[in-house]
Amino acid sequence: MTRSILSVHNVSKRFGGLTAVNNVSFDVKPGELLGIAGPNGSGKSTLFNLMTRIPFGPSEGQVTFDGQRIDTLAPHKIAGLGLSRTFQKDVEFPDLSASETVHIAATYGGRHARKTGADILDFVDFATDRREMHTTELSVYERKQLMIASALVMDPKVLMLDEPASGLTRPEINALEALLRKISQSGVTILLIEHVLGLLMAVSERLIVLNQGALLAEGHPKDVMQDPAVIEAYLGARAA
């Protein structure tokens, strides 16, 4: 059996009386593209936060990355080991160009930044004639490309993406799908939180669903989405 690259074991996160993530466990195999679904507020982003310790670690439980416990390490150490993430909010530095933004990400990455900004912008197919534009002048999709490029500059083994399709048009979602496949084919393991279920279903090899902080279902995307408990969680949330 292939060893997991990432192993989340019984992790929980409490905020006062609220248990945002409740005793969640799952494993990720090297090279896998794991989808993470769940209604609003089900704990998806909090799960990413406590795995990367940006900005906080778990209240309980263990996270193991590439054979090493990481749940007590500083966030920059975790990133340096090869676990990169993006956030729901796009990259936007009003005074910086696209090139400068990726350059800053590479500089922040220090010795861990193994690729140049230009290489990565090429890789994410960022238009060459748009690279010196200020980030505020870019389209939503270009800002997503930049956000993903900034995470890839660290040459991560695992890339964690938090709702990259939000705000995109249908053609842009198709472009994002192609980009995710390209990143996956380059050997990077991907964890993808996404509300655009068409995209999630198309690219995920396996899917986990969170509901009220707990793991509700796990398996092949088609099977998981037909699970009555998953349908109920989504319809219940929509009806609320």
Site residues for ligand ATP per CB under 6 A: 15, 18, 20, 38, 40-46
Minimum CB distance to ligand ATP, residue 18 (Å)? 6
Q: Output 44 or 53, the one with its CB closest to ligand ATP.
A: 44
Sign of CA dihedral 140, 49, 224, 231: negative
Sign of CA dihedral 46, 201, 83, 88: negative
Beta strands 189-193 and 33-37, pairing class? parallel
Beta strands 158-162 and 83-85, pairing class? parallel
Minimum CB distance to ligand ATP, residue 210 (Å)? 6
| Eight-state DSSP code of residue 36 | E
Minimum CB distance to ligand ATP, residue 156 (Å)? 21
Q: Output 110 or 198, the one with its CB closest to ligand ATP.
A: 198
Match 């198709």 to its residue by tokens: 174
Between CA 1 and CA 51 the distance in angstroms is: 24
Q: Output 58 or 109, the one with its CB closest to ligand ATP.
A: 58
Residue pair 117/99 in contact (Cβ under 8 Å)? The answer is yes
Q: Output 122 or 232, the one with its CB closest to ligand ATP.
A: 232
Minimum CB distance to ligand ATP, residue 42 (Å)? 4
